[in-house]
Amino acid sequence: MTFRRVLIANRGEIAVRIARACREVDLESIAVYSDADENAPHVRAADRAVRIGPAPSIQSYLSIDAILEAAKTTGAEAIHPGYGFLSENAAFAAACEKAGLTFVGPPPGVIARMGLKVAARELMVAAGVPVVPGVTASDQSDAGIESAAAHLGFPVLVKASAGGGGKGMRAVRDRESARDLIAAARREAIAAFGDGTLYVERLIEKPRHVEVQIFGDTYGNIVHLFERECSIQRRHQKILEESPSPALTPSVRSAITQSAVAAARAAGYVNAGTIEFLLEGSGDAARFYFLEVNTRLQVEHPVTEGVTGIDLVRAQFIVAAGGRLPWTQGEVSQRGHAIECRVYAEDPAGGFLPQAGTLLLYREPAGPGIRIDSGVVEGGTVSVHYDPLLAKVTAVAESRQAAIARVLAALRRFPVLGIRTNIPFLIRLLEHPDVRSGHIHTRFIEDHAIDLLNAGDPPIEAFAAAAVAPHGGAVPVTADARTAPPDPWSAIQRWGR
């Protein structure tokens, strides 16, 4: 390695995971922490730790100055950004380079280019990567937009060219309703962005989210490490990921991974990255469309590590140090099945509201084929300041059914008390017949909310156990002692977005 000392510019489970990889390749690791994280597991996982500021991220984990200062004072030679925070910030990557630090990730120019949605899309079109058919009509009158929509074929999505966040966006299903919906989208676009220009694209209904892990080195080698399916999402955030995707036939897998390699090549990609696609239809007729490039290590990278046997973080260090990719395309294979569940401190019945507080009891499961990536401990606190991800439970087994059985058994032995988590929800999700058979799409949770949110009544065993809780004293627990039952209907209304 051209560097010996790595500063990990992150917190939580990913910082712990990176510190472990450092130890395996004999790199010194330096953790950074805010005032809220002084005793956090990631601080203990690293060889040294430096305080970088107060609890709010903007003054600590998102502060480029504070992180570069910490790197300077500790003599760090490289920075691993993890995911989130500054990982996809091109200015940060450039500032690292300027300070003479190796940024463990793609070059700043690649991060910047892939962060611009329109430019990235144009680059992919030029590289022959399929994108969702769409057009910014040259005739921007309502009639012009309507004929552009008819040309693409209904249903379409009409959205503000300038926008994001769902503002000025309308699904248009037929010509009859088109005129009113286009006018409404235009009004919203003008109100939100001061620009009424509309973009029309084909609406992909109930798509799957399938992404491909890619890896490049500075010698121009690019390898794909197969796909991950991440269709199960809530609030547009993945909670369950697996590989292989149950939806890909061998020919579609071959096509999507080749497209991902072409996309990475067009982008001049170096280090670990992910090309995200939407998948429509099924069997060999399934079609995929480029969504975006994530220029970082993904939360769900253990799924890929599970089926390929590759350590992605180790490879990130090798490539960042100027080395060649440790494997060729022909040397990597996808074996068995891996499935990851993200355990969040959140209340599914309360609109998936994040939860904060103290972990009164927290016991991780273990066993063959079970991997836990976590950044919390029993007695620790979950702070309001950061993402409420507690742990990732990844099961690897010889088949999809065996992997589901394995991850379910692990979740049923993963007691977390004192803060509400999504563990019971994840279990109901994995027990759902459509998840078991692989019939999933990105709106699955919304469509099946009633089934998934119904926790049922506590069994008599729960009352019996409560009666003998330690430190609580033996007290009778009345049979109607249950706290207000979650009401799935009101929870769904509270989702409104």
Closest CA to 88 of 9, 5, 162, 164: 9
Q: Which of 459, 487, 488, 492 binds other proteins (CB under 8 A)?
A: 459
How far apart are CB 482 and other proteins at their closest, in Å? 6
Our CB check for other proteins shows the closer of 226 and 344 to be: 344
CB of 349 to other proteins, least distance (A): 11
* Residues 231-290, interacting with other proteins (CB under 8 A): 235
For residues 357 to 396, the per-residue mask of contacts with other proteins, x marking binding by CB under 8 A and - elsewhere, is x--xx-x--------------------xxxxx--------
Least distance to other proteins, CB of residue 483, Å = 5
Shortest reach from residue 476's CB to other proteins, in Å: 4
Burial string for 363-384 (b: 16+ CB within 10 Å, else e) reads ebbeeebbbbbbbbeeebbbbe
Cα–Cα distance, 158 to 134 (Å, whole number): 10
Quote the CA–CA distance of 19 and 28 in Å, as a whole number.
8
Point out which span in 105-113, 125-133, 181-189, 459-467 binds other proteins (CB under 8 A): 459-467
- Beta carbon of residue 454, minimum distance to other proteins (angstroms, whole number): 11
Toward other proteins, which CB reaches closer, 96 or 343?
343
Q: Which is closer to other proteins, CB of 56 or CB of 369?
A: 56
Name which of 138 and 483 has its Cβ closer to other proteins: 483
Report the chain's terminal Cα–Cα distance, integer Å: 48
Please identify, using beta-carbon distances, which residue of 190 and 417 lies nearer to other proteins.
417
User: What gap in Å lies between CA 382 and CA 420, rounded to an integer?
Assistant: 11
Q: Is 405 in the site for other proteins (CB under 8 A)?
A: no
Cβ contact 341:242 at 8 Å: no
Cis amide linkage into residue 155, ω under 30° from 0: yes
From 223, 416, 449, 453, residue interacting with other proteins (rule: CB under 8 A): 416
Binding residue for other proteins, selected from 262, 353, 372, 402, defined by CB under 8 A: 353
Total residues interacting with other proteins, rule: CB under 8 A: 56
Residue ranges in 461-490 that form contacts with other proteins under rule CB under 8 A: 461-472, 474-483
**Window 439-458: contact mask with other proteins (x via CB under 8 A):** ----------------xx-x
Q: Report how far residue 125's alpha carbon sits from residue 263's, in angstroms, rounded to the nearest whole number.
A: 9
Residues 173-232 that bind other proteins (CB under 8 A): none
Kindly identify the residues of this chain, within the stretch 33-92, that bind other proteins according to CB under 8 A: none
374 membership: H or E segment, kind and range: strand 370-374
Q: Which of 442, 463, 427 is nearest to 348 (CA)?
A: 427
Six token digits for residue 251: 């020919």
Q: How far is the CB of 427 from other proteins (least distance, A)?
A: 4
Q: How far is the CB of 350 from other proteins (least distance, A)?
A: 7
CA distance linking residue 422 with residue 448, whole number of Å: 16
| Distance of closest approach, residue 84 Cβ to other proteins, in angstroms | 9
Give the strand pairing for 222-234 and 156-160.
unpaired
Based on CB atoms, which residue is closest to other proteins, 214 or 239? 239
Q: Contact between 166 and other proteins (CB under 8 A)?
A: no
* Residue 226 contacts residue 191 (beta carbons within 8 Å): no
For other proteins, which is the closer residue by CB, 193 or 463?
463
Residue 391's H or E segment, with its range, is strand 389-397
DSSP state letters, 179-243: HHHHHHHHHHHHHHHS---EEEEE---S-EEEEEEEEE-TTS-EEEEEEEEEEEEETTEEEEEEE
SS3 state of residue 280: strand
In sequence order, the β-bridge partners of residue 292 are 276
Interacting residue with other proteins among 32, 349, 423, 440 (CB under 8 A): 423
Kindly state whether residue 460 participates in binding other proteins, applying the rule CB under 8 A. Answer: yes
Binding site for other proteins (CB under 8 A): 235, 350, 353-357, 360-361, 363, 384-388, 408, 411-418, 420-421, 423-424, 427, 455-456, 458-472, 474-483
